[in-house]
């Protein structure tokens, strides 16, 4: 299994914080968001390589940071060649870019590079192995306004995904879907087919409703918090939360 971290966005809503620094390298509680993700991936025995997809504008910052980071797995940083928000490829196109560049033909763990979460990826991978199908993650979210900002799914009693809506005005459940997925090796051609059909290459969740028409997808329901840092205010709030957590542990 390969882990792919999508980190080629420009995070314009976070300006000026991200004008000259990529969001995954912003520090939360004293260390970069990217480091938290890599620490979550490290215990996964199935994963032998982590691929970070970024853009030309921030490529060298990622490459320099990775060069100084001690890690047990190989980390590859890819440059998708884009230079601004206006010419970005989009998350799904970046995923396919990585597949082509690395000639990948195996299971994929796909993570957005700008989200933090409490659950263990080892539990997610164990669920995937049990189900044997493409899997996404979900958590219960009872704030209507927050549900309107994310993907929302319906599932049956076994966890199979029945429907997916991206940022719905009228959510049909309280199951929010963050951008953490595991795709089977035989789904890789479908990612390419999705783009060739002219579908939306941007938000990674856009692929899910398209995939539901072709394959079974199950949702791993996790407990605990998930943090999507989208604005300067949310960055300050999450940073204060993590700094307080570090302070509490050290007491």
Task: Give the confidence band of 41 by pLDDT, cuts at 50, 70, 90.
Answer: very high
Positive/negative CA dihedral, 164, 134, 79, 19: positive
pLDDT per residue over 207-222, tens digit each? Answer: 999 999 999 999 999 9
pLDDT of residue 245: 62
Mean pLDDT, range 75-100, rounded to an integer: 95
pLDDT per residue over 180-201, tens digit each? Answer: 999 999 999 999 999 999 999 9
Domains in the chain, start-ordered, CATH in brackets? 2-137+177-250 (3.90.550.10)
Cβ neighbours of residue 41 closer than 8 Å, sequence gap 6 or more = 3, 47, 50, 73, 109, 111, 121
CA distance 222 to 40: 15
| Separation of CA 21 from chain center | 19
CA distance 2 to 106: 7
CA distance 249 to 251: 6
With a cut of 70, say whether residue 242 has pLDDT above it. Answer: yes
pTM for the complete prediction? 0.93
CA distances (Å), 231 to each of 17, 112, 224, 244, in order? 9, 16, 22, 20
């Amino acid at each position: 299994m390969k882990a792919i971290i999508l980190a080629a966005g420009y995070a314009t809503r976070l300006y000026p914080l991200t004008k000259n620094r990529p969001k995954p390298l912003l520090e939360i509680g004293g260390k970069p968001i990217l480091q938290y993700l890599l620490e979550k991936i490290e215990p996964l025995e199935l994963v032998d390589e982590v691929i970070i997809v970024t853009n030309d504008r921030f490529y060298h910052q990622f490459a320099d940071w990775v060069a100084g980071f001690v890690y047990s797995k190989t980390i590859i940083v890819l440059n998708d060649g884009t230079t601004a928000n206006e010419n970005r490829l989009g998350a799904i196109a970046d995923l396919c870019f990585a597949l082509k560049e690395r000639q990948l033909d195996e299971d994929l763990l796909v993570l957005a590079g700008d989200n933090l979460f409490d659950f263990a990826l080892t539990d997610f991978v164990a669920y995937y192995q049990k189900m044997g199908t493409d899997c996404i993650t979900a958590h219960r979210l009872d704030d209507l306004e927050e549900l309107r900002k994310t993907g929302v799914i319906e599932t049956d009693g076994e966890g199979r995904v029945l429907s997916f809506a991206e940022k719905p005005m009228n959510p049909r459940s309280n199951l929010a879907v963050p951008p953490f997925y595991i795709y089977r090796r035989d789904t890789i051609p479908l990612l390419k087919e999705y783009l060739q059909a002219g579908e939306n290459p941007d938000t990674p969740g856009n692929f899910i409703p398209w995939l539901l028409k072709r394959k079974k997808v199950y949702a791993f329901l996790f407990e605990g918090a998930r943090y999507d840092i989208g604005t300067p205010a949310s960055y300050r709030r999450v940073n204060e939360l993590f700094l307080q957590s570090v302070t509490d542990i050290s007491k």
